[in-house]
Amino acid sequence: MSDLAEDHARRPRATMKHVAALAGVGIKTVSRVVNGEPNVAAATAAKVWDAVRTLDYHVDLQAGSLRRADGRTRTIGLLVGSVDNPFAGAVHRAVEDAASPRGVAVLAASMDDDPHREDLAVRTFLQRRVDGLILTTAQARPAYLETLRARGIPSVFVDRDPLAEVDQVASDNRDGAAAATAHLIRHGHRRIALLADRLDIETARMRQAGFFDALGAAGIPTALAPTVTELHTPEQARAALAELLALETPPTAVFSSQNLVTVGALHALREAGLQHQVALVGFDDLPLADLLDPGITVAAQDPQEIGRRAVELLFARLEGEDASARRIVVQTSLIPRGSGEIAAPA
């Protein structure tokens, strides 16, 4: 053992009390900072993290024993919307495929678009001493951003914009939705229904905006376009479209702005026997969508590219790249398969 290693081994292990004394704050404040809790002033958090680094203090977690000499744990945290969603699964796979060759493990969690669950997941990642984060957020401006900045942990947001100066990788949701709607309009449709997710989710708002962009460009009054929002599950979408199809003047086409909403729309159309009469374009692709009758036309995102670009950006930050926040936009592509090419009734 070298003299330096022997000196480190003899050094008393730092405690939270030592960190508090060096930072000039209370023990409770140290606890809140190291556990990633909100409502700590950025300057105070920075003093605590300076003391943590000076004293080589780390929380008593099993992950703490995995720290390397350079202070890295060789782990990154990945937070996705829901493991039920194929989009999230594809992003997860892309992140793992890019991180694994670098010898970096991915710790993943889902938050089901619940801000409280999101905050808890980020706090857990911080307790595990991850080197960086790839995050999907359900919040306009997450409180934990200040903690990440104070601690110096690189983070990249995917899919949704947290309305802050942070690194982001996302699809062009508005233009993609506009292109999908315009595709239906080109096939003669004017009574086009919009089935949308919860509007507190940024991507749902952008896709709704794109839908109305296309209607406006074609001179179609919004009164001809029944809109149902706050649909977060296939069951909700199924019931909503069933009601629209039962109207005296039902829609002749549907734009479903989320893949799980598209699943519900498919059930409603098939139960009504209208899958060959009412056109459908969904935002985001579905497994086996090309094998259905008719095949499902979609505005497809590229979750693999989103995940890959997010990892590249995160590792550039970890390797010392210091630049202003970057926003990378990944284009969508319209894939015609049959359902979106059903012509409007004469």
* pLDDT digit string (tens) for the chain, length 346 residues: 444 344 444 456 678 888 899 999 998 888 877 766 667 887 888 888 888 878 877 554 444 434 444 567 899 999 998 888 889 999 999 999 999 888 899 999 999 889 999 999 999 999 999 999 999 998 888 989 988 988 889 999 999 888 778 999 999 999 999 999 999 999 999 999 999 999 988 899 999 999 999 999 999 999 889 999 999 899 999 999 999 999 999 999 999 999 999 999 999 999 999 999 999 999 999 989 999 999 999 999 999 999 999 999 999 998 888 778 899 999 999 999 999 999 999 8
Specify whether the CB–CB gap between 295 and 337 falls below 8 A: yes
Question: What DSSP character marks residue 140?
Answer: S
Using CA atoms, how far apart are residues 173 and 208, in angstroms rounded to an integer? 9
pTM: 0.76
Nearest to 218 by CA among 174, 173, 178: 178
Q: Are 81 and 112 in contact (CB under 8 A)?
A: yes
Fold type of domain 1-57: 434 Repressor (Amino-terminal Domain) (1.10.260)
Rounded CA-CA distance 211/193 in Å is 10
Give Cβ neighbours of residue 198 (< 8 Å, ≥ 6 apart): 113, 204, 229, 230, 231, 232
CATH of domain 173-302+333-341: 3.40.50.2300
Q: What is the DSSP letter of 287?
A: T
CA–CA distance, 150 with 324 (Å, rounded to integer)? 16
* Domains in the chain: boundaries: 1-57, 173-302+333-341
